[in-house]
Amino acid sequence: MPRIFIISILITFACVNLISCKGKGTVTSKTLSTEDKTALENRIKEIIKGRPGKFGIAVIYNDTDTLTVNDTSDYPLMSMFKLHEALAVCHTLDRLNISLDTTLNINRKELDMDTWSPMLRDSLSESFSISVEKLLDYTLVHSDNNTSNILFDRIVTPHETDIYIRSISPEGDFNISYTEADMKKDIPKSYANRTSPLSYACLVNKIFTDSIVSADKQDFIKEAMARCATGMERIAAGLPDSGISFAHRTGTGYTTPDGKITAINDGGYVRLPDGTGYSIAIFVKDFEGNQEIAERTISLISKTVYDNLSSSR
């Protein structure tokens, strides 16, 4: 079939008139007391105090209570934007009545041989066909940069992605302008793809508590997030080994000439045994230190949030 992006259809995005990031999912009415929220916020602030970077945190518990620390909109998304991209791809396919098993023809000459790309290891032919579902799987599970670039080139642009996400999350404070390829060519552009922690937590919350795209595609996104194989030393490391489910996306930035790591990020959804859950987004900007130290800090924040919310139930 012809390349999808050639189809000359102007996608009209119907803006949803939302004033919060609450979804429509069925949840119990458990809330946090003011004392609980204040205690959790103070614990998080104590953890990040004096750390050599800017930490931003957002938590939405049970689709009801929201907590933020350093919630500004200047955190580089890096590969976190692959979640926005996946939603925009699925929305476009829905509008065109195209299924995830639709295949695209790929020539290795189109691909970047010097970027993170598990697909390159698995597809050794000079040309090959691959389904959109598999491209999304590589993108969401393994954070493959080539598959992300292909989806942006063939199906939906960064600008169209930005417009679509604003239509489903108008309260969001973010910007998506560039692809992985763009950022690799010009590293400062990675700061233009940005978000606030709350904006990301709201988007994750909608995925797990609301209906955004067709059910089969949204279920695929959630399942792929649950299999995400990157950044397991971050939020996941602060969670118990059993009794909960966790699905997420991560992003890691470049190291600048002065030794700063532009971004060390993680954001996802934790489902607790009683059916309640929370979305959590932790962003680290311009970290002046070892990445493992930042990741241990993220895991400690994650454990603190989990312990607090578990004891509050």
* Structural domains in the chain, sorted by start: 4-18+32-312 (3.40.710.10)
Q: What is the pLDDT of residue 110?
A: 93
Q: What is the pLDDT of residue 23?
A: 56
Amino acid at 24: K
79 is catalytic: yes
Query: From first to last of its 313 residues, what are the pLDDT tens digits of the chain?
Result: 444 433 333 333 333 333 346 655 434 446 788 888 999 999 999 999 999 999 999 999 999 899 999 999 999 999 999 999 999 999 999 999 999 999 999 999 999 999 999 999 999 899 999 999 999 999 999 999 999 999 999 999 999 999 999 999 887 899 999 999 999 999 999 999 999 999 999 999 999 999 999 999 999 999 999 999 899 999 999 999 999 999 999 999 999 999 999 999 999 999 998 889 999 999 999 999 999 999 999 999 999 999 999 876 5
Residue 262 token pair:
């532009």
Beta bridge partners of 287: 261
* Backbone Cα Rg of the chain: 19
CA 30 to chain centre: 26
Of 271, 232, 272, give the one whose Cα is nearest residue 250: 232
Residue 197 contacts residue 66 (beta carbons within 8 Å): no
d(Cα 132, Cα 11) in Å, to the nearest integer?
Answer: 19
Total Cβ atoms within 10 A of residue 236: 19
Handedness of CA 174, 179, 181, 182 (dihedral sign): negative
Catalytic residue among 8, 79, 245, 279: 79
d(Cα 138, Cα 115) in Å, to the nearest integer?
Answer: 14
d(Cα 207, Cα 171) in Å, to the nearest integer?
Answer: 15
| Sheet of strand 54-61: strand arrangement | 65-69, 54-61, 277-287, 261-271, 245-252
Residue 169 token pair:
């999350």
Of 94, 111, 109, 47, give the one whose Cα is nearest residue 296: 47
Beta bridge partners of 129: 105
Q: What is the value of pTM for the model shown?
A: 0.90
- Write the DSSP symbol of residue 53: S
Of 143, 145, 147, give the one whose Cα is nearest residue 132: 147
**218: Cβ–Cβ under 8 A, 6 or more apart, which residues?**
90, 207, 211, 212
Q: Could you give phi then psi for residue 296, rounded to 5 degrees? A: -65, -35
SS3 3: coil
CA 164 to chain centre: 15
Residue 101 token pair:
């098993």
Q: Angle 183-116-208 (CA atoms, 0-180°, nearest 5)? A: 80
Residue 175 token pair:
């910007």
Q: What is the pLDDT of residue 313?
A: 54
Please report which helix (H) or strand (E) contains residue 40, including its range.
Answer: helix 34-48
User: Tokens 């954001």, residue?
Assistant: 267
Residue 118 token pair:
């598990």
